[in-house]
Structure 1
Amino acid sequence: MPLDLDQRKLFGLEYWVKHWYRYGLCFDRYSRLLQQTAAFSPQALQAFQNQHLKRMVGAAYRDIPYYRDLFSDLKLKPEAIQTAADLTKLPYLTKELVVANFDKLVSVKKRNFLCKVAKTSGTTGSPAQFIRSFNSINFENAAVWRQWKTGGDQGGKRRITLRGEVVVPMSQSKPPFWRFNPANQELLMCGFHLNENTFEAYLQKIMAFQPQILSSYPSNAYALAKYFRQHKISYRFDAVFTSSETLSPGVRQFIEETFQTRVYDWYGQAERVAAIGHCPKGTYHIQEDYSLVELSPMGQNFEIVGTHLFNEVMPLIRYKTGDLVKANPEQSCDCGSHFRTVASIDGRSCDYILTPEGYRISAANHIFHGVENVLEGQLYQDNRDCLIIKVVAASGFTEHDRAELIRNARENTSERMKIVVEEVDHIRRAPNGKFQSIVSRLPLDHNGPPETLASPA
């Protein structure tokens, strides 16, 4: 009889499988490579990028129907793309084009049973999926591990992870709100259940576990820091690693001062076409050996446009992420890296869903997964007891789709939450033109931390 999800987690099988995918056969090789490229001169780095770009373009032309047709239409041969500057000969790739041409964007030769499918609704509000090769998954985690090493985590330190995963059922009202991951020797704590009523349980577990590293969404790290301050409890982490949400300067300062440490932030996306991370000096650096990144002007900001260098199964070339950064007037950094810098990452701000129980939920895009007839979807809340799901529906949208959205929302938020599905013709964008996956009109104290915060008392 097959094991259910809770049994697989109980015996650690799911964690070991994930661990193998992330730190598999190629991980050590990529880790050694990335340690070398981090010290490359600008000339050596450019040569490295051009070498892998030519290899990727050649593979795309040979094995990817979409690119073969594109090059034919443009009357180009892959030899026309030799350097990053040559990429302007090709048009941008958007999420909408990926959705419309998914099958044609997958390699006819490289795809196998080791590939993984990543799904996202991202910042444009329309669902999409992307295929990652086993090698590219290893490469991704080698890049993340380099970032952790930058923060002083060489492995072996006790870590708690407080992110968006549903670690225990949302309906659970009593501890434990955590599970131990034996594969990574880390304590996975459920960010959804952290509130005033549950903090004492979280605190007791943290004090018993004595973690040295915190890996978290900025919002969850901030919430944890706020509770520590409110209860006048002093605790020091060796480092805090944040990702997946915009980290404001005020929030960063608040976390660093509360936990007497440095925050290392990491920007990435499901498409894996760009990565940006903090160096020890606190500067954001584009990870130039991870992918080929173009910064396309958009008003006073720049949009991140990325090109894969290590995923031949579904290479994305000149992919527009929709995420924005601010330019850094001071391109040089005292850390000595030759990677370009940016001042800030502005494309990941989001609100939160607040449940009747007081749980704050920021990663809720999976509510739309599996519902095929939704063109765009947004979660809207102006009442703590009610969640409105705004959808731009396709012509085939049915009551079954509506019921599935409601069921997904209840499973991932609260059984006590009233769920309303509202069909709309258009979902309004934010003033900066970005799509907001979650919009909350609840008081700021419930939505998340303000931009600037007071110093500790």
Structure 2
Amino acid sequence: MKGPFKVQCWLKKLYRHGPRFQRHFNTLKHTQSYKPEQLLAYQSKMIQKIVLHCYQHVPYYQDLFRSLKLDPHTIQGPKDLEKLPLLDKRTVQENYDRLISKKHYNFLCNMGTTSGSTGMPGKFVRDFDAINFEHAVVWRHWRNAGDMGKRRVSLRGEIIVPASQNYPPFWRYNPANRELQMSSYHLSRDNCADYIEKILDFKPQVLYCGPSMGHVLAKFFRLNQVDYQFDAIFTSSESLDPEVRAYIEDVFQCQIYDWYGQAERVAAIGQCAHGQYHIQEDYSVVELLPAPESGLYELVGTQLYNYVMPLLRYRTQDFVEMRESVYPQMACACGNYFRKVERILGRSYGYLLTPEGYHIAITAHIPVGVDNVIETQFYQEKKGEVTLKVLTNGNFTESDRERLVFNTLKHTSPHMKVHVMEVDDIPRGPNGKFINIINKMESLN
């Protein structure tokens, strides 16, 4: 399998980092230092193009513009987007086929799926150009932090080896990215010595991880009294608590550069070298929808590059506390004029603990493809046992239940005890956020 995997790595890199990637990357090196008036002009130009495309080629928007009696040419810039209604995940689900462009759908497109922080499974299509643009934006974030293609180790939730495997190696090498991809599923007290030994042998300079897995890895290094220093750590996919950040940075003696995004690709926030979180204003148009009485804002994003399934004014259901809600008049020390974010309350993941002691932080794969499920929450009180609370559409079948159990065993452990409980409601956590995993256990049991 090593040969086919290596070929797959190089083909994926070619697909994501070809001439289009380089063209976008070169443009983004300039737009990151645009002044507010330049950013507005840039966004306005891109909005006009994608709105006209929606009107001409996307059935959902064609009907929407007709029903509103709205001329697409009247939408000239970010403020004019308010003429359109907000779009949410349920509307996307119900109108999936009608949101696909009749002009741009082709075999180079990529399907993204998510259960996300809302617990509601969703699927989204991106075209070839949008995929290359996405990677150019992310690579800019990495390059600005000093990663020019350094040796890296990643703990990002991918299925590296089967969940049932109980012996090393729990990793594989991606030669295209000089990356050691390590299994998040098998990182446990019993296996941590193997992970530490491999990392010391590989000598990576950069760590890519979700905060929860980075936190667990740091605890195992400290527990085993092993010192190691990275040049930088890049976190994403989950909210990064200040205490977790401080612990990881102390153990690995370097700075964390955090990143926020979502499968829908409608908004991105990156942390610069000076510690400031910035909305990536050249990535999309981000509106800030005030949350009543909380002082927070919901992120509402409009895509600028995805022409196969464009999302206009999409509600992320992720919230932020802003440092400044309008473009600043003075550039950040990093050189950009992007709005600053004080705190992201996007995603708050816990983890599940398997009978083998593995920590499962990513559960997005589990409800995908299961019919009649609206939301899923994972609740654990005992090691090796989990309850799936599911909110259904009223047509939930025994086959759906069996598929949920099968998927859970596949993505956690074949020895996991799984209960499926239909519920009428799944209560939200603080600030109205959905909590995907609730774990009542101690972190390193």
User: TM-score category by the smaller chain?
Assistant: over 0.9
Partner of 2:310: 315
Q: Does 1:238 align with 2:231?
A: yes
Following TM superposition, by how much is the alpha carbon of 1:21 offset from its aligned partner in structure 2, in angstroms? 2.8
Shift in CA distance, 438/9, structure 1 to aligned 2, threshold 3 Å: farther
Following TM superposition, by how much is the alpha carbon of 1:101 offset from its aligned partner in structure 2, in angstroms? 0.5
Contact (CA 8 Å) 1:242, 1:265: kept in 2 or not? yes
How does 1:321-332 map onto structure 2 within 5 Å? 321-328=316-323
How does 1:367-446 map onto structure 2 within 5 Å? 367-443=366-442, 445-446=443-444
Partner of 1:348: 347
Partner of 2:135: 141
Match of 2:20 among 7, 15, 26: 26
SS at match of 2:185: helix
Amino acid at match of 1:49: Q
Post-superposition Cα deviations, 1:78-115, rounded to whole Å, max 9, x if no partner, equal 11110111111111000010000001111001010000
Q: Does 1:256 align with 2:255?
A: no
Following TM superposition, by how much is the alpha carbon of 1:8 offset from its aligned partner in structure 2, in angstroms? 7.2
How does 1:141-220 map onto structure 2 within 5 Å? 141-155=135-149, 157-220=150-213
Partner of 2:58: 64
Amino acid at match of 1:189: M
Partner of 2:275: 282
Q: Does 1:123 align with 2:122?
A: no
Identity %: 50
Amino acid at match of 2:115: S
Following TM superposition, by how much is the alpha carbon of 1:247 offset from its aligned partner in structure 2, in angstroms? 0.7
Partner of 1:3: none
Following TM superposition, by how much is the alpha carbon of 1:10 offset from its aligned partner in structure 2, in angstroms? 5.0
Amino acid at match of 1:214: L
Following TM superposition, by how much is the alpha carbon of 1:337 offset from its aligned partner in structure 2, in angstroms? 1.3
Amino acid at match of 2:101: S
Q: Matched residues in 2 for 1:60 and 1:209: separation?
A: 48
Let me know the Cα RMSD of the aligned residues: 1.5
Q: Matched residues in 2 for 1:247 and 1:404: separation?
A: 32
Partner of 2:38: 44
Q: Matched residues in 2 for 1:325 and 1:384: separation?
A: 33
Partner of 1:17: 11
Match of 1:97 among 91, 96, 117: 91
Q: Matched residues in 2 for 1:125 and 1:254: separation?
A: 29
Amino acid at match of 2:395: G
Following TM superposition, by how much is the alpha carbon of 1:154 offset from its aligned partner in structure 2, in angstroms? 1.3
Q: Matched residues in 2 for 1:11 and 1:284: separation?
A: 36
Superposition TM-score, scaled by structure 2 size: 0.96
Following TM superposition, by how much is the alpha carbon of 1:335 offset from its aligned partner in structure 2, in angstroms? 2.3
SS at match of 2:427: coil
Contact (CA 8 Å) 1:159, 1:213: kept in 2 or not? yes
Shift in CA distance, 158/431, structure 1 to aligned 2, threshold 3 Å: closer
* Structure 1: runs of 5 or more not aligned: 1-6, 448-457
Contact (CA 8 Å) 1:8, 1:14: kept in 2 or not? no
Partner of 2:335: 336
Partner of 1:293: 286
Q: Matched residues in 1 for 2:392 and 2:10: separation?
A: 39
Contact (CA 8 Å) 2:290, 2:296: kept in 1 or not? yes
Q: Matched residues in 2 for 1:65 and 1:38: separation?
A: 34
SS at match of 2:129: helix
Amino acid at match of 2:441: L
SS at match of 2:432: coil
Contact (CA 8 Å) 2:213, 2:361: kept in 1 or not? no
Partner of 1:453: none
| Equivalenced residues, count | 439
Amino acid at match of 1:79: H
Superposition TM-score, scaled by structure 1 size: 0.93
